[in-house]
Each structure stands twice: as C-alpha cells, then as structure tokens.
Structure 1
C-alpha cells in the first residue's frame, strides 16, 4: 500500500503539518493540476482562501516526466546538470520551452489565477510532491515577485535530500521525506491525471469570490 490513497488524502494529511498557519493571514496556492487537488483539501480544513500558481515543467526528450527546468510568469529555470543528463542541446530546451509557454498561456486562461495583493500575507504554495523540484521552485519564485511576507512550500512527499532554496522559500514543509525515491506517483494508490474541469471546479467553489476564465467569457 502506498503512503496516500489519492491526492485528497494527501491534502488531509498535509493539513496537519500546516496547522500552525490556520489562524494567520495566508493564501493557499496550488500548482495545477494535481497540486490544486491537494491544496483544496488544505484550504478547506484550515479555512484559508485557495488560488492557483501556474507553472510548466520543461521535460526531457523522451522522458517528459523528468524535469530539466520549469517556467512560470516572469520565471525561467533550466538545470544544466539535468540537461546534460538528458543529452539535450540548448536548441532542444528552447523547442520544449516554446511548446510549454503555449500551454502556460492556455492554463493561465483556463484557471484564471487571481492577482490578489499578497504583500504582508503568507503564501503557502502546494504541489502533490517534489521530484527534481524545478516546478516548485519556479512557482515559489513567481509568487515571491508578488511580495508576500513569507513563502511556505508544502508538499506531502519529496526526496529526503531535497532542499528548497532560500531565495525562493522561507519555510519548507514535507511530512514524508523519503530516502528511496523514484517518482511522486509511486507514493499514491491513485495518481490518475487530474483534468482541467476538476481544477476549474475546485477553484470556482473555493471561498475566494474569484472568477474563472469561463466566467469572464474567455
């Protein structure tokens, strides 16, 4: 049996580690798609507003689940060691990035992340797990540009030797730091891909009063 039945169960467990943030001025920001499912459970349990931070992984040629980098609004991360391991040339990375920028724009339109003022607030960035960490770091750096008081990265599971960089994250919360780690999905009984419609529904039904791209007629 895996650590978590599914992403909702992971969110319920992660919320226990985030209990100290229950009574503070904080916003939960899920990374679509799967991270929003985890984040929605945390936000509901801690009675915090929910939003999304849009990020796209730059996957290796022939092994797209392995990140050689990530992009978010105003952020570009390319990990040179991962690029070398994948045997990719700079033009290969540029090609992948061009495709992912189109998807970044599509998801931004579909999920309509809010532009709430985060200054003076705590931003809790949540994903369903960390593997290489590129997407999580890109998300946190994008959120950092919105000048919150603190950025907290919270994930249910990650490699034990992974650390969040201080320029992106003030606090890192992970209840399961695994010595043996191959992929995030191995720790879930059900790691079915989350669909756009579920993300839209979770964000629409969250207590934020925000409108989705569909609501705005986009």
Structure 2
C-alpha cells in the first residue's frame, strides 16, 4: 500500500523532514506542490472536488487541467474530476473529458453509485479511487464496510488480479482487511501540532501498516438480515 500524506503541511521545516514520503497535493490549496515534487517519491494531485463540495464552491475543471498538466508524469498522477453525489451520466461526461493518458489518472467511483459502474470503470482504467458518498459518507462505518465488501466481492469475481484501488480520505484503513493499493489522508498535516508529535514520526507509523493484495469474496449481510 502506498501512503499519500496530505498537504499543506506547515511550517516548511517540518515538511522537509518528510522527504522521501508520498504526498497528496490538492488543487484547492497547492502551495506545497513544487517542494513536494522536489522531495517526494510520488505525488497524487487531488482535484479538490471534496473541498469545493464541502465549502459550497464551484469547480473549474479547465483551470485544474492547466494547473496539473506540467506536473503530470510517472510516478505522479491526478484524480480525474468527478461530481460528488452526481449521477452516473454526470461522472461519465467528466471522465470522457480527461485530456491526459489514463495511466496518469485515477477515476472516481462514488460508493453510492451502482456496482455495475465500478465494474465498467475497472474494465477501462488502471486506477480507481473509491469516494465515500451518500449513505456511505462516513469512512469505516458499518454501512460503509458492507458496501466496501460488496465492491471488492464484485471486483474479485471479475478480475483475478484486482486493479489499483485507491481509497480517498482512507489512510485510517491502512492495515485493515480491504486490499487498497493506496490511500490518502490529511491526518498528519492537521493533527501533528495538537498531539505534539513529529509529523515524520506520525507518517512513519502510518506507513508501516499494510493491506493485503488479494480478496476472497465473503458473504455480505444487511442489518435486516442480522435482525432476522
């Protein structure tokens, strides 16, 4: 599992101690983009849709494309623009506009959307980002966990080797049962000052937690099943 640590992270001296880590740089606050490309192993460029959605702001995909274009190239990649709580057709429209090689992008499957759409994306894209949405907004909740089980069941039945699955806002799941290939979180940047811990030490602890690479389909029960 690759662990992408979110930015911005201040002061700069503490960010420099994180040299050699993988970073997540959001379009909504890109101040650390240049330095992260100098010191990081790889960069995940977040499109910033989650921040725009939670703050009630609009999103300019053309501005995002212009910003990310000179930064893209292996091993760096970006999250393809998406519509949080949008319908499948809205997602397809934005995905179709992606102007770069698919190997340099991660397309988003919102967990409230049909599993069939996930399988469609898995047949076309090498990297899929799981986005928590709708009734699955809270990462790790019981309903979220059942949906994640359903998703991996479907993928494992279709693909002997799973595609690269990235969990958005999901580093707290590092070491859990789901075989995420990568995940991101702003946990370190937001919380190291409150805990009085060195951010590099926090990141090192998170980086040591790994997920498996295979998934064996399991039964999925609803709350109604458990009551019955």
TM score, norm. by length of structure 2: 0.30
| Greater share of helix | 2
TM-score (norm 1): 0.31
Higher-strand-fraction structure:
1
